[in-house]
Structure 1
């Protein structure tokens, strides 16, 4: 009974914050916007056994709307700080102006650790990585490229050309990153054969704001990514599902799930890593019947292995206290 009561209090609180957020004039950074979203995050971070699927339809609908509002607010926050950073002669020297920068340093270290664990079979770092939904402040790409994957080429995809021009401006004064960061303005659903060229694809939490949209994107990636390539995506767990969409293992059709990491601290997003399975019927051929030599990418084709549905990684998590906003 106690847990049911706790869940009811939580849901009531989330709904109360949702109604306040939905009455705001806009979601650009301001005192009211910042305090309401901070309150929402604090409400959703403590561990919770809440099962989102068992909630009534009206609460499900509020959750869907809230995720979209969170996404919109996050976009405004990133654009706001990208503009501030872009006003400096060397924007990358001032990244700590962004209030969540230290979180990105820690989260990227965690994601690099998970990625390395599953990529080490190739005996080398990924050569080409795509980040889908990179936005105006592509901190994941910047941090990974600066500290962890120092020889990797990063291809950043965003549907919004103004987000891409802001992002490319941030790295333009850095002689190394400006050579290794490429920005593409495209809907990822229109990107096909280029996806075969990436060793790793990152999918931002807010690409596909509801599960139907997300599954369409995952199915598209499954169709065009190279067999053996890794897909890293961000999900949510517990009450954090009010902030971000959830990806379930069974929605990763065409991928072998490798591991799921659910943080139990102030990092909001769960990290899911999976490997593109080789198509046993049409292995290494595209829709036109052309043969693709995936080993040129340092990737061998993988036949499906028995899917380990949720191998939780017991990392010694050094992340400490932090809030996480996904880019």
Structure 2
């Protein structure tokens, strides 16, 4: 499912259709969804800058694409380092002479245990990659898109950016933030009448080494998978968590399928790309709770001025 209406599905006259000869940058491109997104762009005739922190995997991926006749440039990049992402942008323009799209895909897992027991260093690590990595990509590449007057920004969030999960506070917070800054960026570009698109993807479980490792853990007979759960949880509660994880993992999607759905949303200039339909109820439940609060708080006399009022 690719979803988007109103704000999420409004084309621009000058929107960028993915086409032969364009140049895209994909972070976290060495494996998983990032590699699949790069492959989908290459299949459309796009030259791709492959950015990743994993040196050997990045080189292997670049060699595989080159063997197919693709034009790629591998660049070792730590997206949590603003200077490194600025260098990535410079190398892209120096090598290819242009940039038409940036896909801020690099991300890591995090969290474990209740929020009040979470490790501050884990928060810094997760936000450094998942949130600031996206911010750095926007700050490094959008100025190039503004100068050329066209382009598209694709930010990869997660279903965890729309519906929370317990014991994953840092990860959920980072992905909610990616959704928020994507919405903000799109509004800013629209207000400034800049023909640059923004799409934020919120995939569910995608087959990656991380997800496969989690699947192995929760399917095992021992309790090793519960290492990061609160000790206070009862055996029944632990089994409820296991069952929830199993249901999620059962919906796992091949990265190539998720990538095609995301790129279809980009080509349609949709703000939101929701690749999985398995989490619709959780998203609706949250939205309905917010709407119920709006309807039930008797705030008819309250009014906060917004930019839409001016």
TM-score interval w.r.t. the shorter chain? 0.3 to 0.5
Larger relative contact order (CA 8 Å, sep ≥ 6)? 2
Q: Using structure 2 for the length normalisation, give the TM-score.
A: 0.40
User: Which one has a larger percent helix, Structure 1 or Structure 2?
Assistant: 2
TM-score between both structures, scaled by the size of structure 1: 0.39
